[in-house]
Amino acid sequence: MKVSIIIPVYNSAPAIERCLCSVLKQSYQNLEIILVDDHGTDNSMVLASRLLDPPTGDNAQPLAASQAHTAEAQTQEDRAGGTADTKAHARSVKILHHSENRGLSAARNTGLDAATGDYVFFLDSDDEIPPRSIENLVHMASLYSHPHLVCGTVDVLPDRKTSFNISNKLPDYVEGNNASSRAILRRDIPIMACNKLINRDFLISNKIYFKEGLIHEDNLWSYQLSALVHNIAIDRQITYIYHLNKKGLTLEPVTPQRLNSIKTIIALQIENLASERPLRTLQEAYIFFTAAWFLDLLHEQTHPEYYKMRGWTRNILRPFGLGMHYHTLTNHLLYRAIYLPPTVLRTGKKFRDNTSRGHS
């Protein structure tokens, strides 16, 4: 089973070597490493090329790694149900270049179109993966007959209090669209594109790409994914190390681009609501949570656009009031809180958040 690791690169010089070294140390060998240069202005790609350029000379070793790693990889591939032809599993590298900066979504899409693996794995260039990450995820994919999605556990550094939890109530294998969409839309698995082994044919055939020009693109992408995915395997071992920036996007002042991105995301999600329940109900609750989270963030920052955004949100969500009898009490309270003072909204959002985390 071949895995394409897609790494967008944009001004990542402080972390790119750490990221790529973690990929090169993978015990699993049947990898395609795809770097997408998003036209940055630092020396990220110079550093990357030094690591990824194959060595030359009579005694040079292939990029696949040392003999010990190769022998180990053969054992792991056999365990996962693959073949023992390790020569065919030497790692390959593709370096793709954008002629202008197009953003994270475009870089991921470029990588996806170029990928040839059975599965793809998105990795941000400022993060890293443990040595057995891909091996463990591939094992779960083989164990459950190649599901659409395999999700692992995330470790957050340096602050482990910040977490991307997988619900302890989720079984190791989630089968059927109802159960799978529920796991995603209720945030029982992290809402992030990274740290997921995703069937490439499934993504391509369903045209599940990232919308370009957005911030928080994972929110919309996960929403689109949830309507189509039919099976998810869960690996509770740590398969991704997320490096939390000192400031981070959540704490940065909300820019006009970010504000417009959230509006676009919510509008597109409403436009693509399912016609049938319970999927529609789950999608609506997902939208309520996103709206409440962002309004709370604006209020916390005393943002000058808070009241305008609150008015827009209340207006676009008002039609859902007629269908609230389909929702749980928790979601009903969250929806109502959007129309109440900010302190009530914060309480409602935290209640909904804690209820979700209660599944963990």
Q: How confident is the chain (360 residues) per 10-residue block, as mean pLDDT?
A: 97 95 97 97 95 60 42 47 44 95 97 98 97 98 96 87 81 96 96 97 98 96 97 97 72 90 98 95 96 92 94 96 90 87 68 57
**CA 227 vs CA 234, 304, 305: distances in Å:** 19, 35, 32
Look at the chain and count its residues.
360
Same domain, 209 and 302: no
Residue in this structure with the two tokens 């594109």, named with its chain if needed: 193
Residue 203 is part of a domain; what is its CATH number?
3.90.550.10
User: What pLDDT is attached to residue 53?
Assistant: 79
User: What pLDDT is attached to residue 71?
Assistant: 43
Neighbours of 58 (CB within 10 A): 4
Which tokens sit at 24?
């090169």
User: For 318-323, which contacts have Cβ atoms below 8 Å and span 24 or more sequence positions?
Assistant: 320/284, 320/288, 323/281, 323/284
Same domain, 195 and 275: no
Same domain, 211 and 94: yes
pTM assigned to the model: 0.87
User: What pLDDT is attached to residue 329?
Assistant: 87
Same domain, 64 and 97: yes
Last residue of a domain, one of 209, 225, 244: 244
> Which are the contacts of 173, defined by CB distance < 8 A and separation ≥ 6?
144, 147, 231, 232, 233, 234
Last residue of a domain, one of 180, 212, 244: 244
Range of the domain at 53: 3-244
Last residue of a domain, one of 244, 276, 295: 244
> In the chain, what's the furthest Cα-to-Cα distance?
73
Strand partners, 169: none
User: What pLDDT is attached to residue 237?
Assistant: 95
Tell me which residue of 132, 160, 146, 141 sits closest to 239, measured CA to CA: 132
Same domain, 341 and 201: no
Peptide bond into 8 cis (omega under 30): no
Same domain, 240 and 271: no
* Gyration radius from the chain CA atoms: 21
